[in-house]
Amino acid sequence: MSETVRKPVLYSAVQPSGTLTIGNYIGALRNFVKLEKDYDCLFCMADLHALTVRQEPAALRRRTAELAALYIACGLDPEKNIIYAQSHVPMHAELAWILNCFTYMGELSRMTQFKDKSAKHADNINAGLFTYPVLMAADILLYQTDVVPVGADQKQHLEICRDIAERFNSVYGDVFKIPEPYIAKSAAARIMALNDPGSKMSKSGEPDSFISMADTPDDVRRKLRRAVTDSDGEIRVDPENKPGVTNLITICAAMSGKTAEEVCAELQGKGYGALKDATTEAVVSVLSPIQAEQKRILADKQYINDVLKNGSERASALAFRTLRKVYKKVGLYQL
């Protein structure tokens, strides 16, 4: 990161708990590459967060490497950006403990994601699931982050992060920068579930509800063939009355680089089969080269290790500055 002219810091963390979807790609990944020039960016594999749900150890390790490789395959330069695993920087957990002491039970109990995950994993409602937003706040505040890309489901987490930082600063002075949500200059297309266009596409949904970044051309074709449409046959953008068709048009446009209007004009009168075929072609044309590059990167284990080691060292140097200041402020004896 530049030491001469400080760029604003952008921080993003993703759990390596499943393969990302094309919704993640369209809404975030493909836009990250454009941010290198204007921001000092940190991209974190949030493996500690993933532990709030039981993980198969070998799979978690593999998915962490796969996510790092995917970032690079999508065009992120590991020299210009910091790409690292959360567990490789112990300061995340250390700051989280301090911030736990400045976070109220009532705040955490109101978090909608805690309620949702508790319902899904009723046999494993653990303390980590409850205090998850505090670790997320530590992730962000460690790096004096200016902006955080957030989806609708993460806004509440950023709000509590800001509350915790402001509470700490009110006691100890200007310690943490108060992060703002990152809003892309051009609003990202909202990609919905293929089987339920009233819900956001998510990697935690039913297998046929999303297209993952790892899906084969046959997988993509099969899932899009089964995607919900309607009975009137007209290809037009109408989110209220034709949510399924609108979602397919949005995906086709985003992956082909065309506008929704251009997609509709090209397919006018051709029916939903043609729309699904065009969308399949657009998705596969983007995914295939990314998958080939990810596979090439993963074949070189030493390279992935080097990227994550370098990233952890650079992240640790930044995180240590903040943590040392926090420890001094709260009165911990310094050696």
Catalytic residues: 117, 200, 203
For 35, half-sphere exposure in the C-beta direction (CA atoms, 13 angstrom radius) is 26
Kindly state the helix (H) or strand (E) to which residue 173 belongs, with its residue range: none
| Rounded-to-integer distance, Cα 217 and Cα 158, Å | 37
Token pair for 270:
């051709």
- Beta-bridge mates of residue 84: 44
For 313, half-sphere exposure in the C-beta direction (CA atoms, 13 angstrom radius) is 8
Q: Residue 13, exposed/middle/buried by CB under 10 A (0-12, 13-18, 19+)?
A: buried
| Rounded-to-integer distance, Cα 8 and Cα 102, Å | 26
On whether the CB atoms of residues 170 and 132 are closer than 8 A, the answer is no
Supply the DSSP symbol for 85.
E
Reduce the DSSP state of residue 157 to 3 states and report it.
helix
Amino acid occupying residue 320: F
| Rounded-to-integer distance, Cα 13 and Cα 312, Å | 14
| Rounded-to-integer distance, Cα 134 and Cα 161, Å | 7
| Rounded-to-integer distance, Cα 68 and Cα 310, Å | 13
Token pair for 30:
């493909």
Residue 334 makes CB contacts below 8 A (sequence gap 6+) with 324, 327, 328
For 30, half-sphere exposure in the C-beta direction (CA atoms, 13 angstrom radius) is 18
Reduce the DSSP state of residue 11 to 3 states and report it.
strand
| Rounded-to-integer distance, Cα 226 and Cα 277, Å | 12
